[in-house]
Structure formats: structure tokens, C-alpha cells
Amino acid sequence: MNLAECCRAHCPRWLNYLLYLFAESAIIATDIAEVIGTAIALNVLLNVPLVAGCAISIVDVLVILFFYNPSGMSMRALRLFELFVALLVLGVVICFCYQLSLIQDVGVGEVFRGYLPSSALVESQGLYQACGILGATVMPHSLYLGSGLVQNRLRDFDSHHPNESSITIQMTNQEPTVDNARPSTDTELEKYRPSFAAIKSCMNYSIIECGLSLFTFALFVNSAILITAGASLYNLPGEVEDDLFSIHDLLSKSIAPVAGTIFMLALLLSGTSAGIVVTIAGQMVSEGQLRWTLKPWLRRLITRSISITPSIIIAGAVGRDGLSDALQASQVCLSVILPFVSAPLIYFTCRSKIMSVWATDSTISTPTSAERNVESTKDMVDRERVTELQTSVALPMSGRFVVMRNSWLMAACALVVWIIVVVMNVAMLVLVGLGKA
């Protein structure tokens, strides 16, 4: 199951609906950010009015139609989807590589000192901006998307390795339940369970993919944004606006005329890629937590209409200043929602009963750090779980459960990071309430 399906299966009904509300709010907040970013980029690049730019941003519905299938993406569609998004991100990277090459008289030491925490974080707008950066970088919908896309890879692996043990279960009346999960209302449901070999292979792929994307592309692009903005704003006399329009003007004047144009092109590409990705995630959330299946273009129209309406009102009423404030506020909202969405992920991945995988003896190799507790079935998982699943699902008898839950160290690290994010958001909300941010 992906994260949305786990919320429905293992959470009380009221909590599942509450988590869905947070997830949907994050998706709409992301949509608002992408609508505003696209409108600003089109306004600067092509002189399109802001209101018209907000309306034009709905065009990417057509792109979604080529990729998403409610019954599950084919691997070809998944690879095309990933390639398309990767090309957009690569375009952003190229833009910022060129931007950085134009910056002069900035030492490497000065750049690396910028990574160190300083008092600026808690002064003036520092914490508010930091939460906005956090929300824009670790977008809550990405947690749902990653767990959903891997399901297609699992099926693809098992289809190409038929000798491995994968299980397709035909269940009548209700699904086998775990931890008092709610029975399915479907009278009949075919449930695919991936092989242990597929899970190991896809987990290794996901770890490598996550590591590379976070510590190369994401780190580089977000650093480049701050370095470029800092280089254009630093040492300027008097008060300077720090919205996207002003950054564009300053880049054009202080670095090179083409620098501002490339900055806006990067904004347009990133807005398009994020808008496409958040639509796929939104479809997974609604299908997983509510079993609410809508055609992607219809869902996109609904969510985009919700996000476009306030954007058009702001653009028409207060113009560029209002759009910039709304853009930052939407990203701060993502930061506030992040702890609510990530808490179930941490909880589920720390539970042995949920993170246990049935493996045949032939597929279990020498234990690794990721597959601890595999010495005996008794030590791996509660005996009632084994009996329950063997009875209701007809698992092969020549096998055992492997527990793949988080280690205590990983769980502790996740909890510490979660607490830090909560403290940041609470402090930021207090400052906003006091009128200091």
C-alpha cells in the first residue's frame, strides 16, 4: 500500500478524513504557489497580464492526460512521466548554472558560510522565510507520490522475474485486516502483494534515487536560488523589495541583462514541473484515502479552480505585491502542514506489524542491516499475524516474515527532525500572532 492507502487501512475513520483534509490543503497550497509563479514568469517574459497568466496556468491539464491512469501507470508511461519532469528540472539546473557563472566578486568561503545557522534566522522575517523555504523544498505531497509510484515498479519487477514469489490474492467479502483495519466494502477485490525480492530491489532503487535527487539537484537548485538572490541584493543602499519582480530587475541590472530573463525561465519550468507532479499526487491521495476516483483532467480542473480563484482575485485587486505575499504565504502553509502529513509516515514505518513482508526461504539471503530480526519467525512478528494471514490469504507455508521497519536509530532521527519542524512552525505562528512576522 502507498501512504494514502495505509492511512485509510490503519487509522480510525475520523483521523483518516482529517489527514486527507491536511493532504488536500497542501495540494491546493502547492497549486496556488505554482499558479502565482507561472503568472509572474509569463508576465515578465511575455508581458502577459497577471490575471490572464493565472488563467493560462490551467493548460497543463492536457499534459496530465498523457500520463496518469487511475488503474495504475504502465512502466512506459511512468518512465515518460519521470523523463518529462526530469527534463524540466534539468532546464532549471542549466538556468542556474548559467546564473552562477555570471556572478563575480563572491568568494567560495562566503558562500559556504551562508549554510551556517545565524541570528538572522530568528530576526525580523527570518523564521517566516525559513519556514517558507522548508515548505517549498519538502513539499508534503511528495511523501504520497513516492510511495505511490514505487507500486508500479514492484509489479514490473515481478512481471520480469516470474520465478520469485509474488502473491495475487482473491478475497471475497472483505480484506484481511491488520491492527483493527476497517473491512473493505467491496464484495470482491484482487489484491497484489509484491515479492520480497521486488521490495528489496525497489527499496535500493528508491534510496539511491532519493539520495541523488536530494543531495545533488535539490540542494544545488535551492542553494543557487539563495546565492543568486543574495548576490543581487547584498550591499544595496536603502530598503529593497525582495519579491520576484524586484529580484528579476536587480539581476538584470547588477549581474547581466540576460540574468533576469533566465531566472524567470527557471521559475516557469519549475512551476510547470511541480504543477504536474502535485496533480498525480492529488489523484493518489483521493483514491487511496477516500476511494474517490475522478478522471485526472476533471480533478485538475477542480483543484486548479480552487487555487486559481484566490490568485485571480489577488492579482486583480492588489497586483504584484499581493501575489508575492500570497506566494510566500502558500509555502509557509506547506511548512505548517508538513508535520501532520509526515507523522503517519513515521508511525507506519516504525510498526513491525505493518512493515512485515512474507518471503520464501529461497529469497531470504544473509541478513543485512535493513533486514534485521530475521533469525526466527517467532522473533520477527507477532504469531497471531502469521496465523491470520496464512488462514485468510493462503500464504505459502515454506516461508517467513521479514520485518523491515525502521531501526531505532532511524526512528530517533526522524522524531528529532519532526520535533524541530514542529518547534519552528509553532515559533513562527507565535511571531505572526504577535505581529512580528
Q: What is the pLDDT of residues 107-124, one digit of tens each?
A: 788 888 888 888 878 776
From 8-12, 72-76, 426-430, the region with the lowest mean pLDDT:
72-76
* Predicted TM-score of the model (pTM): 0.79
Can you read off the three cell numbers belonging to residue 213? Answer: 535527487
Residue 381 has pLDDT above 80, yes or no: no
Cell numbers describing residue 377: 519467525
- At 105, give phi and psi (nearest 5°): 60, 35
pLDDT at 167: 56
160 in a structural domain = yes
Residue 189 inside a domain? The answer is no
Domain membership flag for residue 372 = no
pLDDT surpassing 60 at residue 382: no
Residue partners of 50: CB distance under 8 A and separation at least 6: 39, 40, 43, 315, 316, 319, 320, 323
Total of domains in the chain: 1
Q: pLDDT band for position 168 (50/70/90)?
A: low
Most confident listed range (13-22, 91-100, 151-160, 398-407):
13-22
Phi, psi of 193, rounded to the nearest 5 degrees? -120, 120
Phi-psi label, residue 406: left if phi above 0, alpha if psi -120 to 50, beta otherwise: beta
Residue 170, beta-bridge partner list: 190
- At residue 404, the 3 state secondary structure works out as coil
Helices (H), ranges, 114-256: 126-137, 141-160, 196-212, 219-233, 244-254
The answer as to whether 118 is a domain residue is yes
Does 248 fall in a domain?
A: yes
Phi first, then psi, for residue 239 (nearest 5°) are -75, 130
Opening angle at CA 344, ends 422 and 389, nearest 5: 160
- What string of DSSP letters covers 11-30? S-HHHHHHHHHHHHHHHHHH
Residue type, 371: E
Q: Decide: helix, strand or coil at residue 236.
A: coil
Rounded distance, CA 423 to CA 166, Å? 43
What pLDDT sits at residue 344?
Answer: 96
Please report the pLDDT score of residue 98 as a whole number: 87
Helix, strand, coil % in the chain, rounded to nearest 5: 70, 5, 25
Provide the residue range defining the domain that includes 63: 3-169+195-350+406-433
Residue 188 has pLDDT above 90, yes or no: no
Report which residue type is found at 96: F
Residue 38 lies in a domain: yes
Tell me what pLDDT residue 361 has. 57
Q: Find the angle CA(382)-CA(18)-CA(3) to the nearest 5 degrees.
A: 50
How much is the pLDDT for 166?
56
For residue 97, being part of any structural domain is answered with: yes
Using DSSP's 3-state secondary structure scheme, residue 114 falls into coil
CATH of the domain at 158: 1.20.1740
State how far the alpha carbon of 239 is from the alpha carbons of 126, 132, 149, 233, 242, in Å: 16, 21, 46, 10, 9
Count of residues for the chain?
Answer: 437
Buried b (16+ CB within 10 A) or exposed e, 124-153: eebbbbbbbbbbbbbbbbbbbbbbbbbbbb
C-beta separation of 296 from 279 below 8 A: yes
Say which residue, 301 or 25, is predicted with more confidence: 25
pLDDT tens track for 47-79: 888 888 887 877 765 566 555 565 556 777 778
Beta strands 399-403 and 167-172 are unpaired
φ/ψ (deg, to 5) at 365: -95, -165
Of 323, 341, 334, the closest CA to residue 424 belongs to: 334
Give the three-class secondary structure for 205: helix
Dihedral Cα 223, 229, 232, 236, nearest 10 deg = -120
- Report pLDDT for 334: 94
What grid cell was written down for 74? 504502465
Decide if 51 is inside a domain.
Answer: yes
